Structure 1
């Protein structure tokens, strides 16, 4: 009896976790792409690959796990946004604002971030391999 009950419990637990998992709000993705304004929007896991988000208002938006590969975020305002584990590989974020944003685990490999503001941003475990990052609060360390 125990050998039957344990697999059933494990299966039910996995199903309940899958039902709780969040995904982006399609109306919010449409709003962002059509208007460039989506402050506070739910964009969790959104596919925004190669999107033109120049000057977009994404203040306090939830972009956790979003795909922003090759996206153009020039001048975008992501103040207070949640970008945890987002993929920003080869993105262009010159003059973008990431103040107080959660950027932990963001993949910025081969990204271009010139004069981006990152005051108060959580920058733990970011990947900046091959990136062009100048004039921002992101640094690779080194000797003092």
Structure 2
């Protein structure tokens, strides 16, 4: 009887270890799906996700963590990224007309050839941000930084 009990415990322990454990990547993918379907992902953890070429017009990404995300060529027209963490994000050739980046962290972000017409960038941290070839007009720019 004791042998059967030990075998059962060992089998259950082994099976519980084999059960899928949600990974950061799978959780990120669920949040990416939500963002693409609803346009709302305020406060989401989207670190390192690939959103290149995504249509995120009017998306709510306030306080989202997009650190290291690939947004190359994405359409962010009218999107709200207030307080978002875009550190080291690839924003090359994004279309960000009317986009809000107020108080966002754009440290080491790549905004090469970005279109930033009527963008709001008040209080954003832009240490090491690459804006080579970016164009924009009527930009509300009040850049903050580390003390």
TM range (shorter): 0.7 to 0.9
> Whole-Å Cα distance in 1 between the matches of residues 136 and 68 of structure 2?
22
Q: Do residues 115 (structure 1) and 118 (structure 2) align?
A: yes
Structure 2: gaps of 5 or more residues: 1-23
- Which of 32, 35, 41 in structure 1 is aligned with 2:35? 32
Deviation per CA, 1:16-69, whole angstroms, max 9, x where unpaired? Answer: xxxxxx656111010001110000001000100000000000000000000000
**What is the SS of the residue equivalent to 1:124?**
coil
Please identify, of 91-100 and 128-137, the stretch whose mean Cα deviation from structure 2 is larger.
128-137
In the other structure, the counterpart of 2:50 is: 47
Q: How big is the shift at 1:133? A: 2.2
In the other structure, the counterpart of 2:92 is: 89
TM-score, structure 1 as length reference: 0.78
In the other structure, the counterpart of 2:65 is: 62
In the other structure, the counterpart of 1:101 is: 104
- Which of 123, 126, 131 in structure 1 is aligned with 2:129? 126
TM-score, structure 2 as length reference: 0.77
- Runs of 4+ more than 2 Å apart: none
Q: How big is the shift at 1:131? A: 1.0
User: Which entry has the higher C-alpha Rg, 1 or 2?
Assistant: 2
| Maintained 8 Å contact 2:123/2:142 | no
> Whole-Å Cα distance in 1 between the matches of residues 125 and 131 of structure 2?
14
